[in-house]
Structure 1
Amino acid sequence: MSVRVWRGVFGSLVLSALVAAPAGGATFPGVPVGEGTGQGSRVRATPLEDAGVLIAAARAGTAGIGFGPCAAVEQLPSYVECGTVDVPVDYAEPLGRQIPLTVSRVRAGGPAAARQGALVYNPGGPGGSAMYFPKASRWPEWKRIAGAYDLVGYAPRGVGRSAPLSCQDPADFTKSPTQAPTEPSASYKQERIARAKAYARGCARHGGADLRHINSLNNARDLEVLRAGLGEDKLTYVGSSYGTYLGALHAVLFPGHVRRMVLDSAVDPAPDKIWYRNNLEQSVAFEGRWADFRAWVARHDATYGLGTTAAGVQHSYELARARLAHEPAGGKVGPEQLRSAFLQAAYFDDYWPRRAAALAKYLKGDPSALIAVAAPDPEEAVEEENGNAVYTAVECNDAPWPTDWKVWDRDNTALARRAPFETWANVWMNLPCAYWSAPRQQPLDVRTAPGVLPPLLILAAERDAATPYAGSLELHRRLGGSVLVTEQDAGSHGIVGGSNACVNGHVDAYLLEGRTPVRRASCAPHPQPDPVSLDQRAVERERALPPAV
């Protein structure tokens, strides 16, 4: 790598950073690579990258973020303002080509004397955008926090209008109907291998030399630059799902710039879990959450008529799968679209009543409700493909993956025998990483001793499937001085600002006053949906309407 001479204030920053950095660059300790895992070429942080963060943050702090009206494409209300902050494509070349990250904000609504700064949110993914987050200022659960903080969202690198990445034509990516065999044949597996290879080639072709720079370490560095651009000495942050891993990386890399962090539904940050083994464990957890949903539907058989036992509900689901394989609903909803719709129910129990009702109506001959919840929306195709492209790039770049299909086939064939609902779909989503051309990183060993960081608040639902509870326990163990709040016997993914008043009380106390439980706390689960009461409320609303004329 060539060394560029930087002058002025940026030059003095890079010089001091180079003097302070250890010879040979910073290394990220990881774990031994397991059997069949291709190591590929590895990316290491260098003194130039460490210095590059200082340069980019100093520049952002000087320039600030010029907020103004949001672009119409963001579809945000007029009370939200938008701007951009520049981050380097490559932190080893901090004065080289820049990516303008789009940022959204609503100012704190309370008295000026009560303002505590900016609160930055990342919803996870990777590949998710938080540009919508300022709208939370109008939600009751966020009212007190929105009075004290500017609510700030942003689109990470590669996402939305932040130098968007695409790997495939969006229309092809969302093409339907498609199959979803739980026991794929050898020929089907070969077809999916070919598709994974083509997708990886598409990412390499469209991403070019920039592709390697879409990774979690750069996302954490970008977060540090955003902090500076907002004029904050220290970061106050809420991250959900993948956003917890991003927040943890930032905390380990920049511990002196952390004020408060809420890490909600945590990814297991152990280097040997990033990301292949995390996905295996996720498939197991989804099977458990799918069982929770079926048990709930069975308890409400009087409403849905899908079976009085979880096994009976499974039979109804399989009957729908078989029918859709033969004749897709509306020509759009096949077995894969059915699975995807019910996967959403495994994320959020708010989805349970509508999904169960759609399945019941379909089996009785009315496909309209199922089409409404399961058919791809052409207007969302670009956003969905973009999100998947960034997800793939980050996960493939972050860590070694098995490069031998036999390893994937062995591990997931065994797993699918006890977790058939999501296992193979998870494989197909991640399989491009087996054929990835960009260099791989060795994951950072996320770990801090007590006293290095202020207390960080970790939130977790015990039966969360997308980020299994064990991951929150591991993150709590690794971040010295962190505090864990558990919603017991519940499984919604992402519980901050949800329907559990106990959880929200802990978040409010932490963000507004800096108060936390001593080390751990538990909250009773939020109530599961009640379709009877939902139906009753619908009747009451209808009665309250004026008569039709």
Structure 2
Amino acid sequence: MRAAALYGTIVCMALSVVSAPATPAMGLDRTTPASAGAAEARGTQLAAARAAATGIAFGPCPEEEMLPDSLRCGTVAVPLDYAAPYGRQIELVVSRAPATGDADEHQGSFVYNPGGPGASSITFPLVGELPEWKKIARAYDMVGYAPRGVTPSAPLSCQDPAEFAKAPAALPVHPSTTYKQRRIEQAKAYADGCARDAGPALRHYTSLNNARDLDVLRAALGERKLTFMGASYGTYFGAVYATLFPSHVRRMVFDSAVDPAPGQIWYRSGLDQSLAFESRWEDFRTWVAKHDSVYHLGTDAGAVQRSYDTVRTAVARRPAGGKVGPAQLHSALLGAVYYDDYWAMRATALSEYARGNPIPLTDQASPWAAAARDNENANAVYTAVQCNDAAWPTDWRVWDRDHTAVAGIAPFETWANAWMNLPCAYWPAPRQEPVDVGTEWGELPPVLILAAERDAATPYEGALELQRRLRGAALVTERDAGSHGIGGSSNACVNRHLETYLLTGKTPVRRAECAPHREPNPVSLERRAGQEMPVPVV
């Protein structure tokens, strides 16, 4: 069954067996953004005015970031709590590469966020050196930053990084009652660790505050209106920004859009994502089967699944390189579900392992010790924002019922998603209601949404919902493709729409379509055999 058809089938099946959260979040009145908090709205105005007066003193970047001299860094102060703008401040680290074009080409600052929550864009300005971005970099100062809580912007931690990266680890597809109880205890301990590290500040890591921080950054950059591109989660708080500050928007790009409907944030979103991951996992296995003469893992998707299951069983019994167990194997293959750039490498690793050579799998899937602190930090921020943003079910029986139902038809990622989000069931900080994202006709200038039709991390329905809510938004769809984050990547048609919009402000009338980018080429096992492929797990 093709993935698009499979996705439609399993969504229909899941809707019949999976309930919504026990306490669904209610949306705010999007026609009155001040309802997000009148005190916070006043605090944002004050902080933005203060940032505009102060600006950003750009100089050398933090030494630990190991960035080239072409990139300059500075900081902007934002209130921890916008209801108390004179209270504790957080310094966000900002990076910038000046526009490379002539003065008459300059269009101001272009700010980028790659999502997460928990991801940094400090290295983003370096993309201006790539062919796909050079024209945009001529017109704009390329700006990246580390959001609140993300290293090095007052980093949040919930657990010892060494413990977080511990390997190998088990990850049963159909967990036992005993295993589930162990993960419940771990989730409770993790939530407690977040509270110990952050204290009363924990409640302030939210999408609303990320949007407010973005407005302060706009002011600090000296921009009256914001030009912004957000990918993945960056589309969600970008949409929150557009709802709260529509008159401050110049141009906005939403790449791989999160479904912003309040009922989706965030419990339901995770269930839908697990369904979509199953479809994309089938895409990968179908591609591997098509190249069975190279990989020898099976001539159809089912046979490739059995080969994968054999490897999974083997590393559970004896971890590859002493480090790669089922959880590490799954994490590596999840990278292939996000990005088809990984398909050839991951297929080679599985194939070589099956032939008795564990080195490619060990190199690709082993925890990267040098990244342990950053990975733990990213997970801490992800957890804090997701848990704070909305109400989650607090009864384990709801989680167990819903995830058991979805795992019955979409086993690849469902329980892994559950364990990642389970601390939210035991979260010690107060939750808030999601913003009811949306703008009316004429409130926003033209904005651009980019989406791949079979993206699993942010299913395509999210792009359609965002377009409905941001009246007048244009949508560019990469048909029959599923990589996550498509702007400035390998599809020339998508890149033309992105470039045209950022340089001229022009969008398609409503919707445009692009043919898919080319499928990956398989890598010859004969050329790869025995070679190391040092790719960090994603």
Instruction: Check whether TM > 0.5.
Output: yes
In the alignment, the residues of structure 2 paired with residue 55 and residue 435 of structure 1 have an alpha-carbon distance, to the nearest angstrom, of: 35
Larger-gyration structure (1/2)? 1
Is structure 2 residue 200 aligned with structure 1 residue 214? no
CA drift of 1:37 comes to 2.8
In the alignment, the residues of structure 2 paired with residue 71 and residue 188 of structure 1 have an alpha-carbon distance, to the nearest angstrom, of: 42
Partner secondary structure for residue 356 of structure 2: coil
> Matches of residues 325-474 of structure 1 in structure 2 within 5 Å?
325-474=316-465
The answer to whether the 8 Å contact 2:94/2:146 transfers is yes
In the alignment, the residues of structure 2 paired with residue 442 and residue 515 of structure 1 have an alpha-carbon distance, to the nearest angstrom, of: 34
CA drift of 1:46 comes to 2.9
Select 1:275's aligned residue among 266, 270, 277.
266
RMSD of aligned residue pairs (Cα, Å)? 1.8
What per-residue deviation string (whole Å, max 9, x for no partner) do you get for residues 483-509 of structure 1? 000000000000010000000000010
CA drift of 1:96 comes to 1.1
CA drift of 1:38 comes to 8.0
Select 2:94's aligned residue among 94, 103, 108.
103
In the alignment, the residues of structure 1 paired with residue 21 and residue 422 of structure 2 have an alpha-carbon distance, to the nearest angstrom, of: 17
Counterpart code for 1:517: P
Matched with 1:66 is 57
The answer to whether the 8 Å contact 1:39/1:440 transfers is no
CA drift of 1:66 comes to 0.2
In the alignment, the residues of structure 1 paired with residue 456 and residue 485 of structure 2 have an alpha-carbon distance, to the nearest angstrom, of: 11
Q: Give the 3 Å change call, closer, same or farther, for CA 326–535 of structure 1 in structure 2.
A: closer
5+ unaligned residues in a row in structure 2: which ranges?
1-18, 29-33, 529-538
Matched with 2:467 is 476
Select 2:234's aligned residue among 232, 243, 253.
243
Select 2:245's aligned residue among 250, 254, 266.
254
In the alignment, the residues of structure 1 paired with residue 441 and residue 50 of structure 2 have an alpha-carbon distance, to the nearest angstrom, of: 32
In the alignment, the residues of structure 2 paired with residue 69 and residue 36 of structure 1 have an alpha-carbon distance, to the nearest angstrom, of: 50
Q: Give the 3 Å change call, closer, same or farther, for CA 35–331 of structure 1 in structure 2.
A: closer
In the alignment, the residues of structure 2 paired with residue 409 and residue 506 of structure 1 have an alpha-carbon distance, to the nearest angstrom, of: 43
The answer to whether the 8 Å contact 2:475/2:510 transfers is yes
Q: Give the 3 Å change call, closer, same or farther, for CA 144–38 of structure 1 in structure 2.
A: closer
> Matches of residues 9-28 of structure 1 in structure 2 within 5 Å?
none
In the alignment, the residues of structure 2 paired with residue 46 and residue 313 of structure 1 have an alpha-carbon distance, to the nearest angstrom, of: 52
Matched with 2:254 is 263
Matched with 1:159 is 150
CA drift of 1:39 comes to 7.3
What per-residue deviation string (whole Å, max 9, x for no partner) do you get for residues 43-100 of structure 1? 9743221110011000100000000011111121110000000000000111111000
Select 2:23's aligned residue among 37, 56, 59.
37
In the alignment, the residues of structure 2 paired with residue 286 and residue 74 of structure 1 have an alpha-carbon distance, to the nearest angstrom, of: 33
In the alignment, the residues of structure 1 paired with residue 42 and residue 22 of structure 2 have an alpha-carbon distance, to the nearest angstrom, of: 36
In the alignment, the residues of structure 2 paired with residue 161 and residue 173 of structure 1 have an alpha-carbon distance, to the nearest angstrom, of: 19
Partner secondary structure for residue 440 of structure 1: coil
Matched with 1:286 is 277
5+ unaligned residues in a row in structure 1: which ranges?
1-32, 539-549
> Matches of residues 223-234 of structure 1 in structure 2 within 5 Å?
223-234=214-225
In the alignment, the residues of structure 2 paired with residue 514 and residue 535 of structure 1 have an alpha-carbon distance, to the nearest angstrom, of: 47
What per-residue deviation string (whole Å, max 9, x for no partner) do you get for residues 233-277 of structure 1? 000001000000011111110011000001000000000000000
The answer to whether the 8 Å contact 1:461/1:489 transfers is yes
What per-residue deviation string (whole Å, max 9, x for no partner) do you get for residues 8-65 of structure 1? xxxxxxxxxxxxxxxxxxxxxxxxx95523879x997432211100110001000000
The answer to whether the 8 Å contact 1:236/1:258 transfers is yes
Matched with 1:124 is 115
Matched with 1:301 is 292
Q: Give the 3 Å change call, closer, same or farther, for CA 411–478 of structure 1 in structure 2.
A: same
Matched with 1:193 is 184
What per-residue deviation string (whole Å, max 9, x for no partner) do you get for residues 356-399 of structure 1? 00111111111110011100011100000000000000000000
Counterpart code for 1:81: R
Aligned length: 505
In the alignment, the residues of structure 2 paired with residue 47 and residue 183 of structure 1 have an alpha-carbon distance, to the nearest angstrom, of: 47
Select 1:51's aligned residue among 22, 42, 51.
42
TM-score normalized by the length of structure 2: 0.92
Partner secondary structure for residue 151 of structure 1: strand
Select 1:136's aligned residue among 114, 127, 139.
127
Q: Give the 3 Å change call, closer, same or farther, for CA 38–209 of structure 1 in structure 2.
A: farther
In the alignment, the residues of structure 2 paired with residue 536 and residue 231 of structure 1 have an alpha-carbon distance, to the nearest angstrom, of: 56
The answer to whether the 8 Å contact 2:117/2:378 transfers is yes
What per-residue deviation string (whole Å, max 9, x for no partner) do you get for residues 133-191 of structure 1? 01101111101000000000000000011110000000000100001101000000000
Partner secondary structure for residue 244 of structure 1: helix
CA drift of 1:537 comes to 11
Higher relative contact order (CA 8 A, sep 6+): 2
In the alignment, the residues of structure 2 paired with residue 45 and residue 474 of structure 1 have an alpha-carbon distance, to the nearest angstrom, of: 21
In the alignment, the residues of structure 2 paired with residue 321 and residue 358 of structure 1 have an alpha-carbon distance, to the nearest angstrom, of: 13
Counterpart code for 1:107: P
What per-residue deviation string (whole Å, max 9, x for no partner) do you get for residues 263-313 of structure 1? 000000000000000000000000000000000000001111111111111
Matched with 1:524 is 515
Percent of aligned positions with the same letter in both sequences? 64
Q: Give the 3 Å change call, closer, same or farther, for CA 35–257 of structure 1 in structure 2.
A: closer
Matched with 2:138 is 147
The answer to whether the 8 Å contact 2:76/2:92 transfers is yes
Partner secondary structure for residue 466 of structure 1: coil
Counterpart code for 1:530: N
Partner secondary structure for residue 68 of structure 1: coil
CA drift of 1:401 comes to 0.2
In the alignment, the residues of structure 1 paired with residue 449 and residue 316 of structure 2 have an alpha-carbon distance, to the nearest angstrom, of: 42
Is structure 2 residue 488 aligned with structure 1 residue 489? no
The answer to whether the 8 Å contact 2:20/2:268 transfers is no
Counterpart code for 1:37: T
Q: Give the 3 Å change call, closer, same or farther, for CA 131–396 of structure 1 in structure 2.
A: same
Counterpart code for 1:430: N
In the alignment, the residues of structure 1 paired with residue 265 and residue 25 of structure 2 have an alpha-carbon distance, to the nearest angstrom, of: 13
CA drift of 1:450 comes to 1.2
Counterpart code for 2:23: T
In the alignment, the residues of structure 2 paired with residue 428 and residue 537 of structure 1 have an alpha-carbon distance, to the nearest angstrom, of: 38
Counterpart code for 2:118: G
Partner secondary structure for residue 530 of structure 1: coil
Matched with 1:3 is none
Counterpart code for 1:371: T
Task: List structure 1 segments (4+ residues) > 4 angstroms apart after TM superposition.
Answer: 534-538
Is structure 2 residue 502 aligned with structure 1 residue 511? yes
